[in-house]
Amino acid sequence: MRLRLTPREDSFYDMFADSANNLVTGARLLVELISEGADRSAIAEKMRACEHAGDECTHAIMRRLNETFITPFDREDIYRLASTIDDVMDEMEEAADLVVLYKIDEFPKGIVNMVEVLERAAELTAEAMPRLRSMKELNEYWIEINRLENQGDQVYRKLLAHLFSGEYDTLTVLKLKQVIDRLEEAADAFEHVANTVETIAVKES
């Protein structure tokens, strides 16, 4: 049993929960973005606001970290978890921005599967954050995230094969590939979040 002489700052748990819930909002905006007939400029604007909110969450965590003497787990892990969550949002926002900048109106069918992977990963991440308090029932979270990331890799490879099949002109291929790359990076970033949570849980067990 650990003896604690100084009160521990536990507000980090709520802050991580807020940050992860923002990822759910971002992922659902991506679902809207690729929907037929969507107002993509308006959705991209919402995504920018979402990314800004994510930055605010991250900055708040960093400020609290600098002000706190006793943290709920290692300071380095708090920094890493905040940073990796922020990375996910950055990748999703960049994908949405590129869609508008490149005036992309049609997407390969497989992109729906990629976005569904991100939406599910966001939901699982948001569900996992409150469990950091007890460090219990987290192993299923990172196992499922790893499975989703592998699924995302398979979807990504199929999308690339489709892009280079000759169906699209060269310029369209270049535009779509940049968007798809950002979505794949977002899936990787979700795995980095899960790996960080696993590291924290192992240290605290």
Q: At what angle do helices 40-67 and 75-101 cross, to 10 degrees?
A: 160
Residue 43 has pLDDT above 50, yes or no: yes
pLDDT (0 to 100) of residue 7: 43
DSSP summary character for residue 167: T
Task: Convert the pLDDT of each residue in 51-104 to its tens digit.
Answer: 999 999 999 999 999 998 888 989 999 999 999 999 999 999 999 999 999 999
Q: Cα–Cα distance between 115 and 20 in angstroms, integer?
A: 17
> In this structure, which amino acid lies at residue 155?
V
pTM of the model: 0.93
Domain boundaries, the chain: 10-204
DSSP string, 86-147: HHHHHHHHHHHHHHHHTT-----TTHHHHHHHHHHHHHHHHHHGGGGTTT-S-HHHHHHHHH
pLDDT (0 to 100) of residue 13: 94
Task: Convert the pLDDT of each residue in 95-136 to its tens digit.
Answer: 999 999 999 999 998 999 999 999 999 999 999 999 999 999
Distances from the Cα of 118 to the Cαs of 62, 123, 146, 154, in angstroms? 26, 9, 12, 14
CATH classification of 10-204 is 3.30.365.10, yes or no? no
pLDDT band at 27 (very low <50, low <70, confident <90, very high): very high
Closest C-alpha among 168, 196, 174 to residue 80: 196
DSSP summary character for residue 164: T
Q: What kind and span of H or E run contains 58?
A: helix 40-67
